[in-house]
A and B are shown apart, each in its own frame.
Chain A
């Protein structure tokens, strides 16, 4: 069904390409080649996927706890700022200490930013969608303020060009490039490992059981002696920490090795905080499935750029195409949920009693939970 969603988006995209006078076949060939053709392109796709995976795996933790974290952008920025501050303050600490500390500070920054939304929801009843969106805006403005003020590269001030970014950060905090001659760096490994950590957290630990219980049924969780409010805050903190890590990889893995902003709302994140949500949905809200889903989505983004160059269509079309994929993916998930509901309604209700004798169907139903 997900494949269907991508195909449907591609079909509508083809129509749009035709209207714009471009050959869709050439366009899509360029897209696929740009995404998967050769090691370099594959590596670029993986790099694009890295922050999506970190954000997406973190989002699954929040979603499974029954809260919606739209605050990836703000949490990425919070993590990036805190880790940048650390590296700016202690540039000479050896890499083996500085790099892990940068990751730690990034996670803390994201956790604080996410935790605020969680605390607001649990203890003040503020809808988390509203609060995370507001916190995104606040984070962007703080970033812009810092980069135009105290954190601005002294060189920029001297030259008077005043581009809003920091100085080149300490080389001790550069993410090591992986062997193989591509731009692929250590951040990709961090992303995959952390996705596995999210899986273990959710499905293997006591805490994860509590989070999932709160997400599925807060009443029963309360009844069983859990604190749903606390779980909501924790879920936001975990989710935020993952976004914070994404912020770290985006800053210390960037080509300029600095924290930068475009001065607008998208700063340096490339909308990873939102695209990560799509990757998580694409991966069925399962941290492990989010790994391939992020890669595919990252590849789509990279390939779309290649297509733009090849067939000379406006960038807006690519954005539109991405949007279409999102819409179709989400719609297909909705459809799946609806179909499942209808199926269980047909099977369930008073037939539940009888279906017990039918071991096969129940066992089959058991296989696709978790």
Chain B
């Protein structure tokens, strides 16, 4: 059976999905990037390989997306390297062909995608900082002594969410401490945080966008029922969360790899090959471009980062 592998490497988490020709998910995994995308992908591939054991699947094409898409694309000999906005849109429209609006909140970024007749017609991404994203929520959960998994359930028990300023992480933290000190209940603060994340999202990313049903909410934070509820209150419509919502980027890029028709040899053995990256500052002009070189078993296979030809690194020696 032919299989298509999609990998989504974000700053916080790494996701992998293997699909067949009918877009059925054959294997999937979600794990932490831990600041080392190469290692995370190696761990990911080991898990996926195990899940596929005895299924006779031959991976014919790989797609990568997420912030480390280029690096991992070079490492896995990918056919498709796509940005996460398109990957998410394709993934979602494959599973929910009638979707009109996609809310996405991930580890460090959040986006909105507007879809009309299956096409992306508009989108926006957060520009300011990590406030209101997954990493923000988990650090606040930690501060309150609550595990991030329980966060949503606790939020649902609140009757009067506390108002919290969440535009900026630093301010939100001081506001949170302040609100806790003057005696707000924990569940109210947690619900307030969920609400603040949503208000922040609607005000920044959703500004001027036509939000229409059906709405799908995905990304890591979509697992948080408190945030889902806050979204429903804010837009006054039902918000769908797909059980595979956290995998949508990887799924989307696997679909794209399949659609591309480009087949390149792939073997799970790359998990055992030594990959190295080196970064150096190009000294040739004052731009000081940060140039990244990727080595496979000490052979340079790719490089990028140069703004001009002076910084180009020759490949193949």
Q: Check if A and B associate.
A: no
